[in-house]
Amino acid sequence: MTGSHEINQARDVDVIVHPGKQELSDAIAARLLTAIADAQAARGVVHVSLTGGSLGSDLWTSMLALPAQSAVDWSRVELWWGDERYLSAGDKDRNDVQNDAAGLASLPLDQARVHRVLGPEASDSAEASATAYAELLRASGAGAFDVMILGVGPDGHVASLFPGHPAQLSVDALAIAVHDSPKPPPDRVSLTFEALRRSREVWFIVAGADKAEAVANGVAGADPSVNSAAQVKGEQRTLWLIDADAAQNL
């Protein structure tokens, strides 16, 4: 495979396949840059929710390599995270720390608009941190995220909503505490399906053959007990941005 291509699906999702992980990362960064510029032209302030994982960090390294990244007003970008490990600020295993190290911290962001999940040094519990994050989201005045970026695990989880886990069933909150996560660390804070769906565009970004089954189930609309990604769709568009390895079961 020498270039990206789109796979037409029966469901109302778009699947775009890139040859490899680097090409995918570069394409996500370019697409996000355009989305931010368009949203700023339409609404002024842009709300983007980020993800962890290697690809969620790699896109910021790719972003810094784009000359056009200086064309957007980064001070009018509100950043959130779909989930965070309930670890102290600065811990190397936190999603925000990994994003920062990959390049996010090099952008001229207004730090008051970079909304980080409180860790145990600043909150009494993961529940308190989730409540604070939900309140912050409500107070921001964002009717919807402009772009919701989600990684997908080999088990089909998104954010920290794992198939079959009790936390996945929460419907009355925007953010929740997650305990006994099947993936370490055990304690996390996650946006709920309700919050994830409040997005104009949802982008699933996935690379690797170990995630091919999760991608196929997600695109096909599998049951919540099998795949969490399948439960999230954007209000205007749902995109699966994947590499060739992750697409092999489609």
- Burial (CB < 10 A; 0-12, 13-18, 19+), residue 8, is exposed
| CA gap 45, 65 in Å, rounded | 24
pLDDT in the model for residue 174: 94
| CA gap 199, 203 in Å, rounded | 10
CA atoms within 13 A on the CB side of 101: 12
Report helix, strand or coil for 186: coil
pLDDT in the model for residue 194: 93
The answer to whether 46 and 107 have CB atoms below 8 angstroms apart is no
The secondary element (H helix, E strand) that includes residue 14 is strand 14-18
Tokens of 230: 């399948």
| CA gap 158, 233 in Å, rounded | 12
Report helix, strand or coil for 196: helix
pLDDT in the model for residue 213: 98
Closest CA to 31 of 8, 9, 6: 6
pLDDT in the model for residue 156: 97
Alpha-helix runs per DSSP H in the chain: 21-43, 53-64, 95-102, 126-139, 193-196, 212-220
Instruction: Determine the number of helices (DSSP H) and then strands (DSSP E) in the chain.
Output: 6, 10
The answer to whether 204 and 11 have CB atoms below 8 angstroms apart is no
pLDDT in the model for residue 7: 65
The answer to whether 63 and 32 have CB atoms below 8 angstroms apart is yes
pLDDT in the model for residue 190: 97
The answer to whether 33 and 63 have CB atoms below 8 angstroms apart is yes
Domains of the chain: 5-84+94-116+147-162+195-243 (3.40.50.1360)
pLDDT in the model for residue 26: 98
pLDDT in the model for residue 167: 76
Closest CA to 190 of 228, 154, 155: 228
pLDDT in the model for residue 141: 82
pLDDT tens for the 250 residues of the chain, in order: 457 776 655 468 999 999 999 999 999 999 999 999 999 999 999 999 999 999 999 999 999 999 999 989 999 999 999 999 999 999 999 999 999 999 999 999 999 999 999 999 999 999 999 999 999 999 998 889 999 999 999 999 999 999 988 877 666 799 999 999 999 999 999 999 999 999 999 999 999 999 999 999 999 999 999 999 999 999 999 999 999 999 999 9
| CA gap 228, 187 in Å, rounded | 19
